[in-house]
C-alpha cells in the first residue's frame, strides 16, 4: 500500500513539474519588435535584449512579488534606470517603468 502511495505521489510530481517553471522566463517580443530573453539569475529574473540596436544589453532585473514582478528597468537608449514592474496575463506581459512612482511609461510584450 505504501509503495502505491509513493509511486502515485512521484507520478503527480512528475506531471506537475513543467507547470512549476515561472511564466516570466523565456523569449519575449518587445513593443518595438526586438527580442528580450528573461532568465533566472541569482534569485531574480534578468532581462537581456537579444536582437536590435542594443542586443546583448541587460535592461532589467525583477523579482516575483506575489501578484507580478518588481525591480529595476533600464531604458537602453539612454541608460537611465527606473523602478520597474511586470504583470503577466497568458502570453502577454505589461512592462512598466516609473520615476518617483508617478511618472510612468508602459509597454506590452508578447511571449514567443
Helix or strand (DSSP H, E) at 9: helix 2-16
Residues 6 or more apart whose CB falls under 8 angstroms from that of 47 comprise 36, 37, 38, 58, 59, 60, 61, 62, 73
The predicted model scores a pTM of 0.77
Return the ∠ at Cα 31 (arms to 22 and 76), rounded to 5°.
85
pLDDT, block means (10 residues), the chain with 112 residues: 43 37 88 96 96 96 93 94 95 94 91 96
For residue 20, the model assigns a pLDDT of 41
Amino acid at each position: 500500500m505504501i509503495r502505491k502511495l509513493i509511486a502515485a505521489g512521484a507520478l503527480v510530481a512528475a506531471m506537475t513539474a513543467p507547470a512549476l517553471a515561472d511564466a516570466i522566463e523565456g523569449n519575449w517580443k518587445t513593443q518595438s519588435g526586438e527580442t528580450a530573453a528573461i532568465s533566472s539569475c541569482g534569485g531574480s529574473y534578468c532581462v537581456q535584449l537579444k536582437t536590435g540596436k542594443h542586443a546583448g544589453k541587460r535592461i532589467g532585473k525583477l523579482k516575483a512579488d506575489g501578484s507580478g514582478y518588481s525591480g529595476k528597468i533600464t531604458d537602453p537608449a539612454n541608460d537611465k534606470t527606473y523602478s520597474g514592474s511586470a504583470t503577466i496575463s497568458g502570453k502577454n506581459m505589461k512592462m512598466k517603468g516609473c520615476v518617483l512612482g508617478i511618472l510612468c511609461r508602459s509597454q506590452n510584450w508578447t511571449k514567443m
